[in-house]
Amino acid sequence: MASITIRNLDESAKQALRRRAAGNGRSMEEEARLLLAGLAELDVPPAAAAESVQPERVSTAPPAIAGFPAAGKRVLLILGGGIAAYKCLDLIRRLRERGVAVRPVMTAAAGEFITPLSVGALAADRVFTDLFDREDEQDVGHIRLARDCDMIVVAPATADLMAKMANGLANDLASAVLLATRRPVLVAPAMNPAMWAHRATQRNVETLRRDGIHFIGPMEGEMAESREAGRGRMAEPLEIVERIGELLDTRPKPLRGRRAIVTSGPTHEPIDPVRYIANRSSGKQGHAIAAALADLGAEVILVSGPVAIPDPRGCETVHVESAREMQRMVEAALPADIAVMVAAVADWRSKAEATEKMKKEGGKGPSHLELTENPDILKGLGHHVRRPGLLIGFAAETEKIVEHARAKLDRKKADWIVANDVSPDSGIGEKAGGVMGGDRNRVRILSRDGVEEWPEMGKREVARRLAARIAETLARQAAKA
């Protein structure tokens, strides 16, 4: 198999393999075998490894993932020398399956960790390594490399590479390209935590940020070196992909200049220092709506109860526990053009929160809990002097859905109510709670003009459509005014 592979490699990959094999005193076949064994050890997905042995299959693009905002764009990927470079093999693949062309540049140090052969095979492009390669200069050259792309991604970005960038050094191809470019640059640092924390590195990071360089990571966690942990891990390939999507997203932003408040998740109402009243809300729908509004350009303040999901990107997230705290934070965020109250706010709280843990005391513990009603945040906004221009509530119902939702629309002075069936027999969601906690939803939008039924779909899709509808409504109102 190896001899077939090598015969089919393109000239530059063959040359790189020849140089490497000669340097290591091995045959080209042996070198290729060891390289592939190395890829397997580094846990490269089997499909990626297969592509690197069969370059003829690489030339056909991987199956496209539709709707990626940077599809059709060109990324120049500069690979620095660090163990995290292996993750960039996956990064290249993830970008290509989203329709992004990747042109790789490797520093000399990167070549110590991964090979131009695997990088070139996955990118389906030649790999540029040398500033003074006569062929490169005549053919492409560092100035053209710097210009013929939509953005540059540096991953992994070593302390050394960032120091060069911060100081304008240009003594190799990677740094010369970075100095010559006018395109946006995204840097994904990866290094030992002590190197990241060093004042010299932090000074360089500050300089680069001031120069308009974008950063992703480094993240906290375990390092490749044994017994090392801290901030220094490179961001995961899919996180980098998402960031590239955001930076290259040129879709219209109809909510730019609009401010939105979104509530999400449950609230926790304390009974005593260790117990609380809660509900099954996961926050998935509310967080997705916040993210969808931010995607359309809105400035979003998300007030979230306790949830187990990450803060959505592009929003300012305020974390709260109880309904009263949530109300305070929502009102502090006024004024707003849009408010979407998705949180499953607990209707009641314990009348007197015990300061010490309540004890059973031989069966003499409290036989009942005295409750009092929580403030209604949505209703409060509906009647507020600074009522948001478009006020949207949710209605979690288990029966008589439209009837109950309409009553809420009137009582709370909302413009729309998004009603969903949260009964376990709604047919959505496998566990008790149905829609609550699951990933799918089926909603009806009630307004004074009538009821609109949407088919069952993922919560992110509900969020995208709702955000689009909000944008259309505001645009229509603005046109009338």
Please give the DSSP secondary-structure letter assigned to residue 424.
G
Q: Cα separation of 270 and 55, whole Å? A: 61
Q: Does 343 help bind ligand CTP (rule: CB under 6 A)?
A: yes
Q: How many CB atoms lie within 10 A of CB 110?
A: 26
Q: Cα separation of 2 and 23, whole Å? A: 19
Query: In Å, how far from its chain's centre is CA 124?
Result: 26
Q: Which is nearer to ligand CTP, 10 or 347 (CB)?
A: 347
**Binding segment toward ligand CTP, per CB under 6 A, in 113-121, 133-141, 268-276, 336-344:** 336-344
Q: Which is nearer to ligand CTP, 166 or 289 (CB)?
A: 289
Q: Least Å distance between CB 377 and ligand CTP?
A: 3
Q: Does 347 help bind ligand CTP (rule: CB under 6 A)?
A: yes
Q: Does 374 help bind ligand CTP (rule: CB under 6 A)?
A: yes
Q: Which two tokens stand for residue 353?
A: 């929160």
Task: Render 232-293 in DSSP notation, one character per residue.
Answer: EEPPPHHHHHHHHHHHT--S--TTTT-EEEEEESB--EEEETTEEE-----SHHHHHHHHHH
Q: Which is nearer to ligand CTP, 39 or 418 (CB)?
A: 418
Strand partners, 103: 76
**DSSP H or E segment with residue 75:** strand 74-79
**Binding segment toward ligand CTP, per CB under 6 A, in 205-213, 294-302, 354-362, 369-377:** 369-377
Q: Cα 89–90–94 angle (5° rounding)? A: 125
Q: How many CB atoms lie within 10 A of CB 251?
A: 9
By the 10 Å C-beta count (0-12 exposed, 13-18 middle, 19+ buried), 206 is classed as exposed
Q: Which is nearer to ligand CTP, 87 or 408 (CB)?
A: 408
Q: Which is nearer to ligand CTP, 28 or 378 (CB)?
A: 378
Q: Which is nearer to ligand CTP, 393 or 433 (CB)?
A: 393
Q: Cα separation of 310 and 315, whole Å? A: 12
Q: Least Å distance between CB 351 and ligand CTP?
A: 16
For ligand CTP, which residue of 6, 28, 106, 378 counts as binding (CB under 6 A)?
378
Parallel/antiparallel/unpaired status of strands 219-222 and 229-233: antiparallel
**Binding segment toward ligand CTP, per CB under 6 A, in 45-53, 301-309, 373-381, 423-431:** 373-381
Q: Does 307 help bind ligand CTP (rule: CB under 6 A)?
A: no
Which residues from 65-94 bind ligand CTP, rule CB under 6 A?
Answer: none
Task: Render 236-253 in DSSP notation, one character per residue.
Answer: PHHHHHHHHHHHT--S--
**Binding segment toward ligand CTP, per CB under 6 A, in 56-64, 130-138, 174-182, 371-379:** 371-379
Which residues from 385-414 bind ligand CTP, rule CB under 6 A?
Answer: 393-396, 408
Tell me phi and psi for residue 445, to 5 degrees: -105, 115
For ligand CTP, which residue of 145, 155, 341, 428 counts as binding (CB under 6 A)?
341
Q: Least Å distance between CB 340 and ligand CTP?
A: 8
Instruction: Please identify which of the residues 204, 279, 420, 441 carries the catalytic annotation.
Output: 279
Q: Does 304 help bind ligand CTP (rule: CB under 6 A)?
A: no
Q: Does 262 help bind ligand CTP (rule: CB under 6 A)?
A: no
Q: Least Å distance between CB 396 and ligand CTP?
A: 4
**Can you state the angle between helices 284-295 and 459-480, rounded to 10 degrees?**
50
Q: Does 377 help bind ligand CTP (rule: CB under 6 A)?
A: yes
Task: Render 178-203 in DSSP notation, one character per residue.
Answer: HHH--S-EEEEE---HHHHHSHHHHH
Q: Least Å distance between CB 471 and ligand CTP?
A: 20
Q: Which is nearer to ligand CTP, 183 or 404 (CB)?
A: 404
Residues 6 or more apart whose CB falls under 8 angstroms from that of 453 comprise 444
- The size of the interface with ligand CTP (CB under 6 A), counted in residues, is 16
Q: Which is nearer to ligand CTP, 159 or 261 (CB)?
A: 261
Active site residue 167: no
Q: Least Å distance between CB 449 and ligand CTP?
A: 19
**Binding segment toward ligand CTP, per CB under 6 A, in 88-96, 127-135, 304-312, 376-384:** 376-384
Q: Cα separation of 122 and 35, whole Å? A: 14
Please give the DSSP secondary-structure letter assigned to residue 108.
T
| Active site (catalytic) residues | 279
Binding site for ligand CTP (CB under 6 A): 263, 323, 341, 343-345, 347, 374, 376-378, 393-396, 408
